[in-house]
Structures are given as C-alpha cells and as structure tokens.
Amino acid sequence: MDRIDQWVRVLQKSGCRITAPRRAIIEIIANSQRALQPIEVYHLSKQQYPGIGLVTVYRTLDRLEELGLIRRVHQEDGCHTLMPAANGHEHYLVCTGCGRTILFQGDDLSALFSRVETKTGFQVNEHWLQLFGICPDCLDHKVVIEKEARHA
Amino acid sequence: MDRIDQWVRVLQKSGCRITAPRRAIIEIIANSQRALQPIEVYHLSKQQYPGIGLVTVYRTLDRLEELGLIRRVHQEDGCHTLMPAANGHEHYLVCTGCGRTILFQGDDLSALFSRVETKTGFQVNEHWLQLFGICPDCLDHKVVIEKEARHA
DNA sequence: ATCTTATTGAAAATGATTTTCAATAAGGGA
DNA sequence: TCCCTTATTGAAAATCATTTTCAATAAGAT
C-alpha cells in the first residue's frame, strides 16, 4: 500500500470525505521532492483538477497537518512550506540550491536533552532539527537549471 | 560593555545612524526574556518612544537580522518572533507555557553531519536546532499568571 | 434512491508586511 | 558651531497571505 492510500485511510477514519480536489492535493504533496507553499500546491493541483479553489488547498493542508500526515519545513525566509511528515528520529535536509528536501535518520539526542534539563531546569518535551546543504545534483553545477525550473 | 553598546557599534560600523526609535527597539529586544513579534516590539517601543511607527520597527528588525544581531525563533505556529542571536553551538530552548526563551550549549553535531553527508551525498552547510519544553516557573504552576501577563 | 452533513468555490474580510513619498534629523566636515 | 549630504522617519497606500462567510454541491451512510 503506498503513501497515498495510507493518507486516504487516515482521512476517512477521522471522518473526512474523499473528494476529487482533496485527492489532487494529496497526490501533489505526497509525491513532491521538495516542500511546497500553499500557493504552489494550488497551482499544481489546478493542472489535475482545474476547478479547485485556493481556499480548499488551505483547508486540506490544515487537515493533513492536524492528522500528522504533513509537516512544516522551515526555510531561511520563513516556514510556510509543507512536506510529508517525518517519523521517529527522521529530520529534513533541505538543498538551498534547488529546494529538494529529503529525510535523514538523525541521532538519538536524549543524552543532550537530559544534560540540558539538568543545567536549565526546563523539562524538554520536543525538538526541532533541520539541516541545510547542497544536494548532489546542485554540486554538479546543475544549480541554475534547477532554479529556473522551480520558477517556471 | 553591554550588549546594547555592542549592537550600537556594529550598526554604526555598517553605516547606520543611531536614532531614538532605533535605540528603543534595540533595548526592547536586547533585554527581552522571550522572542518577540514585530507588533510586540512596536507596542513595547511605543512606551519608550511614543511617536514610533510600525514601519520603523520592521525596518530596524530587518537591519538587525542582516547584521546577525538578532535571529528568528520558530514556534509551533510559525517563525515571526525574534531574539538576540545565538553564537557558536548555542541554540534556543523555548518554554511552551510562558514563551520564555533561553540559550543552551548544544552538542557538536559535526559527527552526525559527516555521517549524513556520506549517506546522502549532500554537502551539509547549516543546521537548525531548537528545543521546546516547560521552564521551572511554569513547572511550579505559575503558567496561568505568566500567560495572562503575556497578553496584557 | 434518499438524506444528512461535510465540503466546495467565490467573494469579502482580515492580518501581516512592504512600498512610496515628502519631511526630518544624524553625524561628518567646514 | 553651523552646514550639507544622505540615511531615516511616519503616514498612507499597496501588496500578499490567510481566514471567514455563505449558499450550492456532493460523499457516503442508510
């Protein structure tokens, strides 16, 4: 069963109805190689379901985020982009050249957390780790091409 | 020399003029115990310099961020808040009860980075780590009081 | 086939941030 | 100290992202 089927099930279980616009949005996000802004999701979904409205995109994204299926990815300029959620100790690695974003298996940081707890008196509940770098393709000087494609 | 004097010097060196509204903004941010939104900086600065305009706040914050003196702190709902910048391996630890934000000395994550580089082919350039938890005061059930104060 | 109710898109409202512009004032130099 | 250049200012308007409202539609249970 692929990711899209999984997401559809989670949506249905939570009482959501599966509609054509939702299906389009889900497919776009689930298959994207990089984190997308709502407006980008809108434009891409429109190719698949031309009648779609931007409001529906916002509403569906909210729903998917509530259900833990997608998550915000933070960029230098803000955090309005979304990607399929990471699990466990996975975190995002964002290419600052072309935007391609992958997941990597992170360390277990619990040792750090208990050290911080002892030192600060805070009770640490969550953490947020993200890496930025240059992907293999951009290292091979494909930067310009990718960037152009992104703005097309 | 305290932080404010340092900031003033950096601003002057970069060709900025030191004005009363700027001084007010700088003092607010430099002395804050938590990350502030532009609109909060505006309201607080107004107590010190009533004529100040919101636009000036935005412009000054941009400048301070460009110069590396302040930095965005990301919260669950976005990343429009700002704090004095961290140095070296320092990172933010945000109290989700009252918003108080402190810096902690983080681990050297370079071992993790080279592992990720080997595995993914990416060249890792930057990282972003933030912790969320409950501060000692909020653990002592002062949560309600602090939250009220925050919205006053 | 029917019925309940979640979902839809358009339009309007809201909220945050940026741009424009003429007036002001910082701070270097005479 | 007094100019003079030019960065900075605040107000108003413009822009951009997101949310709310609402009547029409359609999903999926019965």
Q: Which two tokens stand for residue B2?
A: 């305290």
* Cα–Cα distance list, A10 to A4, A36, A132, A147, B95 (Å): 10, 21, 31, 35, 31
Q: Can you give the distance from the CA of residue A38 to the C1' of nucleotide D6 in angstroms?
A: 41
Q: Which residues pair with A140 in a beta bridge?
A: none
Alpha helices in B20-73 (DSSP H): 20-31, 38-48, 54-66
Q: pLDDT tens across B129-138, in order?
A: 999 999 999 9
Sign of CA dihedral A127, B64, B39, B149: positive
Domain boundaries, chain B: 3-82, 86-151
How much is the average pLDDT of A109-131? 96
Q: Do B132 and A127 touch (CB under 8 A)?
A: yes
Q: pLDDT tens across A3-29, in order?
A: 999 999 999 999 999 999 999 999 999
Q: Is domain A3-82 annotated with CATH 1.10.10.10?
A: yes
Spatial distance between the Cα atoms of B127 and A144, rounded to a whole number of angstroms? 24
Q: pLDDT tens across A71-96, in order?
A: 999 988 889 999 999 998 999 999 99
Write out chain B residues lying below 8 Å of A93, CB-based: 116, 120, 122, 124
Using CB atoms, which residue from B74, B116, B136 is nearest to A121?
A: B136
Q: pLDDT tens across B6-63, in order?
A: 999 999 999 999 999 999 999 999 999 999 999 999 999 999 999 999 999 999 999 9
Name the closest residue on chain A to residue B90, using Cα atoms.
A116
Q: Which of A40, A102, A53 is nearest to B124 (CA)?
A: A102
Alpha helices in chain A (DSSP H): 3-13, 20-31, 38-48, 54-66, 110-120, 136-137, 143-151
Given a contact cutoff of 8 angstroms between Cβ atoms, the answer to whether A48 and A24 are in contact is: yes
CATH (residue range A86-151): 3.30.1490.190
Task: Count CB atoms within 10 A of the CB of residue B71.
Answer: 15
What does pTM read for this prediction?
A: 0.90
Interface check for B74 against chain A (CB to CB < 8 A): the answer is yes
